[in-house]
Structure 1
Amino acid sequence: MAQPNSQAPRNHAGNGQKKRREHPTDAKNDSHKRAKTDHRAKQRDARTLSAQTSSKAFRNGELDVDKFVKSREYEIRALEEGMARSKKALTTRAFQHVPKELRRRTASHNVKRVPKRLQPRAKREMIEDNTPTVTARKRKPTRHMRLRLETAKQLRALGTQKKRSEETKKKRDGEKSVHGSQSVSSNAPGRGQPSLHTRISKVKKVVPAFPPLAKAKFRKRQIHKTWLPTHMFHAKRARMTEPKDPLWRFAIPLTPTAKSYRPTHRAANDRGAVAWDASYMSTIGLEGQQRSIVGMLKGLGVGSYHPNLWQANGEKWRNGTRVWEGFAFEREAPHRPVAPVTVIWCVPDNKLAEAENRQRKAFVRVHPSAFWQIWEELVRLAKVIKPQASVQDLRFEIGSIEITGPAATEALQAALWPTSKQDSPDAKGFQSVERLWTALDSLVNPDMLPPDVLLGFEVQDPRLHHPPRKVVPRASEYEQDQLLELLASWPFDAAQRPPTIFDRRTRLAASSSLPSQKAINRRKSLAPPGEYPAPSSKDPRIPILLYRTSERSHSRSTCSLLLPWKCVQAVWYSLMYCPLSTGGQPRFGGLDERRQLAFEIQQPWFPADFPGTEAGWQWEMNERKKREGEWKRRPKSKRINWQSVDTGSGRKGEVGTGWACDWEKLMSEPSSEANLSGKTARDAETRAGTLQPADMMHLPGLQARTVLVGQIRFHEDGNAQRTLVTVRIKLLTRGVPQTCARIYRLPSAKGSSQLRRRWLTLHPREQATRRRGPKNGLPKLPKDAPDHLVQRRLAQSLLNPPQVGHNDYPGSPGEEDLIGFVTTGNYNLGEGQGTGIGSIVLSKVLKDVSDNEKDSNLCIVRNSGDSAGRLAIWEVA
């Protein structure tokens, strides 16, 4: 007799038994078996609604209203309860409620990595599902590390005890001196303490500034670099520069850790705002008579190619109500361009004095990569100018924040609270900028402001109004008309008070009088519920300077905010947590986002897109080393063999170094075919480490346009052969140009006329002509044409125009037609196609453009390492 728990036969499938062996079901093994759970049962139970029949509501064909209503009431309650159960029975986890840009492929098991509002739910879900959690965020200290931590703890305790004893001793000595001096005790204000007036140290003329002294626990980390005021904010949320490889001696955020490429594009163009801590930008202060400062600015080449700047058109700029942006040049010949600068004049305090002799102040802001060049030029000019003017290094006294996007003014309105609101001009006739800033609360877009407008006023400590509240714009028609009238008239160009940020005493007073966060919290706790603390006369008055700059040939505006270095952090946090009317909060960006937005509007970014300057060349050399390191780290099977690259027409070998914009190769004489094919990697590495080619310089866009149209004659001397012009590249066909791509001009009609015609057939206008004319531009066949001709004509129509990779596709021109390189290239979200920013040698295209030759601005772009080129068009940036 078979036992009830015996196993069934294994291989008797014909008897209706399963082929697989059944799992034993005895009591011994039943404890190890895990019951199969029905994952759908919970959802089915939650979505099942109770109902009640309505038959009892009908009696003898009549409706009993009371019973009918009660039955419907039961069903409605059951529906509400079912909705609540169904909501709780959803399969979404707490980690799935994280914002989309913060999600990862796998959810973290650390509860502390989700927002605080979701942490209790995530912890409960992990306990219910028996998910292993992470209990410790830091690694457990080793034996040696534990000894070091204990020693550090004891040292901190000894230091605190010593500091406390010194404070007690000072207090006793102070009491003895106060009681011993009757004059001090009798004349002392307040609590009987003597009033001490500290002397503000004088500014050391023509001495570079040193970074501010960091806290003791962070001092070792800033030996070879300087932290921005918002370093702690960015270090937790962004990828920073390498600790041992800072950028321009600053620890600069490169890009947020969250996905930000497309969100940055949307925030800057459609809805929202993007902000940057631009405190690494260098500020130089000029002070002296107006004629001296004008002479120094002219010595830098300010207005060299803007002749109306020093005439009537630049009057608003010289009066301190506008800003000017342009290139600065070296003082001595050949007057090489140095970098783009921003010049800001202070409003003259005494307008009755003679314009040339009155004392004036001005700021010159420049990129940190070109600071020392501008600094040395200004120091030389200050020594030779008569009367002399002072030059001050304000790099670590003045910080800055830049914000762009449709909601930029909304975020600034929520973060910046003016210290006073005056309704009428003061005794000197100056208008109140605070009143103007309050009236601009309905401004929904900074593009409505006048271009290059400048506002200077004082604001309250933003921490008193943190977290900021949403700005409610004025919606009445009368208030909107007032805003439009104010923007049209703009009365503050006529009379405006000098901004206090130009006064060093005011800057230092604002920085030194900032209360601690604990004091701010105490005041906020004493305020009534839902209200901010009342302003006090002892509150710091933070001087700021706000100006708007518009990108050339584009409607996007950027608001730049200048303020004391130590006040940047307080304003930054208010900007980052400002609720916008369009939803969300302003985003923060890094260096990559600045390049991205500049690339989307086809504007060159300094210094990467200006290889003709010293700062641009240094950037190119650093990028070469990075790209070379990436190439060498790849296995040999994955590397590009530069010697075997087919560049067209049977030529082998990449032109120049493959991972670099090889300007040395372009500036030298074209090599022969044998040298091209026999070039080795060692030669490329040697050339990559050379210095900047002699006499290579950048030509600004405004001057380049005048040269190309023939208004200025450009001499064909040695310098002309090495003059670079920054251009925009737009592909006429498919494709995406990449950095280090080669730019060729069209082959000449005399030398390679056939190759030129083959490239011109790819132009979109040629395709349009063919569509308007005979089909595919081919002659019409007779009706009685043989079948083989019809088939051939069909094949020709399908293969026309030739595609990349086919034998009929034209090859790239030779090295003699190489005119430049692409310094920045990618797919452009703003244009919806691949575009690029590059530089070309002016002398190689000047003759064709000056002769008004057709298609003189057409070019061929070939990515480094590729064999096929793309037809494109260039224009001066």
Structure 2
Amino acid sequence: MAQPTLPAPSAPSKKRKDPPINSAFRPHAQKKQKTDHRARQRDARTLSTQTTSKAFHNGALDVSAFIKAREYEITALQQGIQRSGHANNRRAFQQVPKELRRRTASHNAKKVPKRLRRRAEKEMIEDNTPTVTARRRKPTGHMRLRLDTMKRLRALGAQKRAAKDKAKEGKADATGQPDRAAAILPRKPKLKKQPTLAKPPTPKARFRKRQIHKSWLPTHLFHTKRAHMTPPSAPLWRFSIPLTPTQKSYRPTHRAANERGAVAWDMSYIATIALEGREDSIESLLRGLRVDMAQGRAKWKNGTRCREVWIYGRDSKHPIAPVTIIWSASSTVEVQPSSRKRTLFLRMHPSAFTQTWEEVLKMARTAKPAVTVEDLRFEIGSIDITGPGSTEALLAALWPTQTPTEEVSVEKTWASLLGLTNPASLPAGAMLAFDTQDPRLHHPPRTVQPPTSQQEYDNLLRLIAEWPVDRLLTNPVIFDRIARQEGSRLPSQKAINRRKSLATPGAYPEAIATDPAIPILLYTTPDSDRRTQSTWTLLAPWKTIQPIWYSIQYYPLSTGHQPRFGGLNEKRQLAFQRGIAWFPADYPGTDAGWEWEMQERRVRLEEWKKRPKAKRVSWERVDLGGGRRGEVGDGLACDWSLLLRREEAAVAREEGQATTRPEGLAHLPPAHAREVLSNAASTSPSPIDGKLATIRLTLITRGVPQTCARIYRLPRTDIALRKSWLTLLEKPNGNHKHHLPTTVALPKDASPHLLQRRLAQSLLYTAQAGEETYPSCPGEEDLIGFVTTGNFNLAEGKGTGMGCVMLAKVLEDVRSGEDEVRRLCVVRNSGEGIARLGRWEVV
């Protein structure tokens, strides 16, 4: 009997698929072919044809077959033409730049530029695309009542305005002259003896409820449509400030600010305090704020330069904030310098305004003769603009009111700056003041072509070298209160449009005598680094900031771009990439810096709590090497209390009092910190106990420092660990393709050349992060500071950071005299166990 045939055993089932074959060992036929992105266009342009051989049968022409073949080819030609046209065809919403596209663009023709709306509407009709009007929300009963009430109020307001205009016309007809009461200018406002804080301008009725607990910038409506703003319930420094544009802007901002284009910010939230009085009284007040009056005295006191200094409180030795000081030019020469009346502007960050205001008032009360103090926060606004195209954009937006006949003037100097690509080429803190016309008369602005000949560039270099503005000593009109008020009385937009319609086609309206003269003041960043881009700062009356802003934003640069706008994040980004400390985040030793740190701690804690436990860092399990576990201090903060008194800090954290500011923590300005480090041999640690210095951090090896990263000095007690870190300095990580892994042991009978190669590799090879031979992180006793701002630096092409160190802890390394190790440090990100070798310098 034959045995039944059994089926072949099936292969065992696999829960996982086999890994893909390495492409290096894959046969050529199995390699993945590259995607042909133009196959669709090639197929659309390929025409189908038929050979003529089928039309001939035994040498005779088959007419019907010949006609059908030609008909087929003609049809294929017509279809090919249509396919080829549709292959390159793009819809209207695809014609706009990528950063301007929206998901609703294909369903709403109003989301595309005006020049493409008619085409978009046609495409929507052809494709039967549903429109948003068909799904528009119908008003509810409550909304209908509100709309009716608003309609009645508008009608009532129109009737009142019409009655008022009719009464004015009747009065003018009766007297034969227009109403002179409307043309009378208000009297010069008298300053009160007791200085008071400025009140924000009264907003329109429909926006009044939105500004009860905060104020809007002059360009608020521009930014709300294009940027992420501070939450309505959580304003920043009592202002609604744009944080970042809604479109992706990190890399475009870097390119516009350094390579081509320009980036502008509305900085009207920067506070301005005016001091008016005798020159000697103002100087004594500045000395009370511990301002060095000798540095740069000549040009700074004459009013041709601005200067940035640190100010201190009278009763405390702790610094308050960096302020920009601007003197008015001296108008009277025959009067003695000590008795001349001068005006001075103090400009500071809004986070330090209250503290500065109180200190200035204390000293103004004791000054003899008296010094008048005035708050100009909502009277003077400002715009910052940086980048290679910043000067070009300002030249197109600012039209001086007059063209002087003198050979040397501020207006002519300003017009001669066309072609300047970096304001840092000018003298540090250089100032230009003149009156400008209403920017709306020249809107939209037209491209100003930069110079192209070598002679024009030579003239520009000669102008920068001589800088004739220093010899003019013209007093900026912006210091005059009456001039600021008259410059703020701008005509209505309807009047501007009427003048434009009467002008010659293609020409701007001519200036008339009644046009307001807007006083402005331009100055470059004081003490700027010549290696990086500098920034123009424009001061103008508060109400004129908006028209100037629109002229800058809509100016077509000669490079083919338009100036970008930035928010608070972009301001910090560019300061970080240029290696400049940003106040107040990088100065935690000040009151404003500590308040910012507390706010950031709360934000980081909320984000940490939102994550599930499996996705967030467990601070107790952080492996620091050498058997140590647990993060040093609070992992979500720059725990400065840990550096002062570790025992008290631990008790405070247990009791929940870690938010209070540590006693004795203070900040040293950069100039004072450099002086302490240069005289480290003669400086004792006790006077600088608790003093912080802001530093710029650069990693020698790989890695990117993040905010709240820990900064350690090289170990001083563990000599072996210190030498292992210094080994990374001697043999930094490089190309290690040719080293053999140390885990592979050579056989006993290995040839001599293999032994020599292994020995050479062991001498040249540096341990990589994560390996057992990589040095571990130093101990808590070697902690010297924290990173306040850290990220990958696009300008440097590697990870950098800004941080602060305790000066008393770094003096020992500075005194050692070893140049190559005195600025070395070890950086470890919070929540990570791997540390990196870096180098720091005071900024």
Correspondence 1:702-713 to 2 at 5 A: 702-710=671-679, 713=682
Structure 1 residue 567 and structure 2 residue 544: aligned? Answer: yes
CA distance, structure 2, for counterparts of residue 83 and residue 295 of structure 1:
84
Give yes or no for the alignment of 1:269 onto 2:270. no
Q: What SS class does the counterpart of residue 545 from structure 2 fall into?
A: helix
Hey, what does 1:864 align to over in structure 2? Answer: 830
Kindly state the Cα deviation for residue 357 of structure 1 after the two structures are TM-superposed: 1.0
Q: Quick check: 1:286–1:390 contact (8 Å CA) kept in 2?
A: yes
Aligned equivalents of 1:195 and 1:530: distance in 2?
Answer: 33
SS where residue 471 of structure 1 aligns? coil
The corresponding residue for 1:115 is 113
Q: Find the counterpart in structure 1 of residue 7 from structure 2.
A: none
Alignment correspondent of 2:495: 519
1:706 Cα offset (Å) = 1.2
2:705–2:791 contact (8 Å) kept in structure 1: yes
Range 492-501 or range 831-840, more displaced = 492-501
Aligned-pair CA distance for 1:671: 9.0
Partners of 2:592 and 2:682 in 1: how far apart?
28
> Residue 192 of structure 2 aligns with which residue?
204
* Cα separation, 1, equivalents of 2:474 and 2:771: 69
Deviation for aligned residue 1:124? 2.6
- The equivalent residue for 2:695 is 727
The corresponding residue for 2:773 is 808
Task: Please tell me whether the aligned partners of residues 40 and 87 of structure 2 are also in contact (alpha carbons under 8 angstroms).
Answer: no
2:561 match: 584
Per-residue deviation, 1:83:
9.3
Where does residue 11 of structure 2 map in the other structure?
none
Matched, 1:843 2:808: yes
Change (3 A) 1:571 1:745: same
Map Cα deviations across residues 364-398 of structure 1 (whole Å, 9 max, x no partner). 10000000111111111111111111111000000
Q: State how far apart, in whole Å, the 2-side matches of 1:855 and 1:654 are.
A: 26
Q: Distance in 2 between matches of 1:873 and 1:358?
A: 50
Structure 2 counterpart SS, 1:451: coil
Structure 2 residue aligned with 1:4? none
Q: Is structure 2 residue 289 aligned with structure 1 residue 300? A: yes
Q: Are residue 539 (structure 1) and residue 509 (structure 2) matched?
A: no
1:55 alignment counterpart: none
- More off after superposition, 852-861 vs 163-172: 163-172
Residue 758 (structure 2) aligns with: 793
Q: Give the AA of the match of 1:295.
A: S
Distance 2:387 2:289 in 1: 33
- SS of the residue corresponding to residue 819 of structure 1 reads strand
- Structure 2 distance, partners of 1:194, 1:613, is 50
TM-score, length basis structure 1: 0.82
Aligned to 1:332: 315
Which residue number in structure 1 is paired with residue 375 of structure 2?
393
Q: CA deviation at 1:715?
A: 3.8
Deviation of 1:157 (Å): 2.7
Instruction: Give the C-alpha shift of residue 684 in structure 1.
Output: 6.4
**Equivalent-residue separation in structure 1 for 2:364 and 2:751 (angstroms):** 87
Give the 3 Å change call, closer, same or farther, for CA 496–785 of structure 1 in structure 2: same
Across the two proteins, how many residue pairs are aligned to each other?
774
- On the 8 A contact 1:760/1:766 being kept in 2, the answer is no
Q: Spell out, residue by residue over 1:735-792, the C-alpha distance to the aligned partner (whole angstroms, 9 max, x if none).
A: 11110111111101xx211111222222254669999xx9999xxx999866999499
Q: Which amino acid aligns with 1:633?
A: K
Partner of 2:685: 716
Give yes or no for contact 2:604–2:636 (8 Å, CA) kept in 1.
Answer: yes
Task: Tell me whether 92-101 or 526-535 shows the greater mean CA deviation.
Answer: 92-101
| Contact residue 761 and residue 767 of structure 1 kept, 8 A | no
What stretches of structure 2 of length at least 5 have no aligned partner? Answer: 1-37, 50-76
Please tell me whether residue 158 in structure 1 is matched to residue 134 in structure 2.
no
Alpha-carbon deviations, 1:831-876, whole Å to 9, x = none?
A: 0000000111110111220232451221111111111111111111
Contact 1:859 1:873 in 2 (8 A): yes
- CA offsets per residue over residues 151-178 of structure 1, 9 Å max, x none? 3322333344345446656776x56xx9
Asked whether 1:827 is paired with 2:827, we answer no
Alignment match, 2:706:
738
Judged with a 3 Å threshold, the aligned counterparts in structure 2 of structure 1 residues 825 and 324 are, in CA distance, closer, same or farther, namely: same
Alignment of 1:473-512 (within 5 A): 473-512=450-489
Q: Give the aligned residue type for 1:354.
A: Q
CA distance in 1, matches of 2:126, 2:287: 74
Do 1:706 and 1:712's aligned partners in 2 also have CA atoms closer than 8 Å? no
CA contact (8 A) 1:102 1:259 kept: no
Distance 1:860 1:711, change over 3 A: closer
SS in 2 for 1:373: helix
Unmatched runs of 5 consecutive residues or more in structure 1: 1-38, 51-78, 180-184, 426-430
Which of 609, 612, 617 is the aligned partner of 1:635?
Answer: 612
Deviation at 1:192, TM superposition (A): 8.0
The CA distance in 2 between the partners of 1:459 and 1:369, in whole Å, is 31
1:828 positional shift: 0.3
Cα distance in 1 for residues equivalent to 2:654 and 2:586: 22
Contact 1:286-1:361 within 8 A present in 2 as well: yes
* Structure 1 residue matching 2:505: 3-state secondary structure: coil
Opposite residue 333 of structure 2, the aligned amino acid is K
Inter-partner Cα distance in structure 2 for 1:277 and 1:259: 19
1:62 is matched with which residue? Answer: none
Q: 1:556 to 1:575 in 2, by over 3 A?
A: same
What is aligned with 2:582? Answer: 605
Aligned 8 A contact 2:300 2:306 in 1: yes
Q: Would the aligned equivalents of 1:657 and 1:684 in 2 still touch at CA under 8 Å?
A: no
State the partner residue of 2:720. 754
How far apart are 1:116 and its partner, in Å? Answer: 2.0
State whether residues 405 and 558 of structure 1, in contact with CA within 8 Å, keep that contact through their aligned partners in structure 2: yes
1:876 counterpart residue number:
842
| Deviation by residue 1:19-60 (Cα, 9 ceiling, x = unmatched) | xxxxxxxxxxxxxxxxxxxx999986767699xxxxxxxxxx
Partner of 1:230: 219
The residue number in structure 2 matching 1:686 is: 656
Conserved in 1, the CA contact under 8 Å of 2:478 and 2:484?
A: yes
Select the residue among 245, 250, 255 that pairs with 2:244.
255
Q: Quick check: 1:346 aligned with 2:344?
A: no
TM-fit CA distance, 1:712: 8.8
- What one-letter code is carried by the residue in structure 2 that aligns with 1:432? S
C-alpha change, 1:314 and 1:757, in structure 2 (3 Å) is same
Cα 1:533–1:684 change in 2 (3 A) is: farther
Q: Deviations over 1:175-195 (max 9, x none)?
A: 6xx96xxxxx5xx96688896
SS in 1 for 2:728: coil
Report the AA paired with residue 692 of structure 2: L
Q: Which residue of 2 aligns with 1:148?
A: 146
Change over 3 Å in CA distance of 1:47–1:271 after alignment to 2:
farther
Contact 2:681 2:815 in 1 (8 A): no
Q: 1:646 to 1:545 in 2, by over 3 A?
A: same
Q: Contact conserved, 1:776 with 1:800, CA < 8 A, in 2?
A: no
How far the C-alpha of 1:319 sits from its partner, in A, is 0.5
Distance 1:236 1:820, change over 3 A: same
Shift of 1:644: 1.1
**Distance change >3 Å, CA 138–CA 736, structure 1 → 2:** farther
**Do the aligned partners of residues 167 and 130 (structure 1) sit closer, same or farther apart at CA in structure 2, a change above 3 Å counting?**
closer
Partner Cα distance (2:841, 2:41) in 1 = 65
Please report how far the alpha carbon of residue 139 of structure 1 lies from its aligned counterpart in structure 2 after TM superposition: 4.0
**CA offset at residue 221 of structure 1?**
0.3
Residues 467 and 378 (structure 1), Cα distance of their counterparts in 2 relative to 1, 3 Å cut = same
CA-atom RMSD, angstroms?
3.5
Q: 1:586, 1:165 → 2: CA distance?
A: 45
Q: Give the alignment of 1:641-680 within 5 angstroms.
A: 641-669=618-646
8 Å Cα contact 1:47-1:85 kept in structure 2 = no
Please tell me the residue identity of whatever aligns with 2:128.
N
Q: Which moved more, 1:660-669 or 1:272-281?
A: 660-669
CA distance in 1, matches of 2:109, 2:199: 43
CA 1:189–1:448 in 2, change beyond 3 Å: closer, same or farther?
farther
Tell me the equivalent position of 1:314: 297
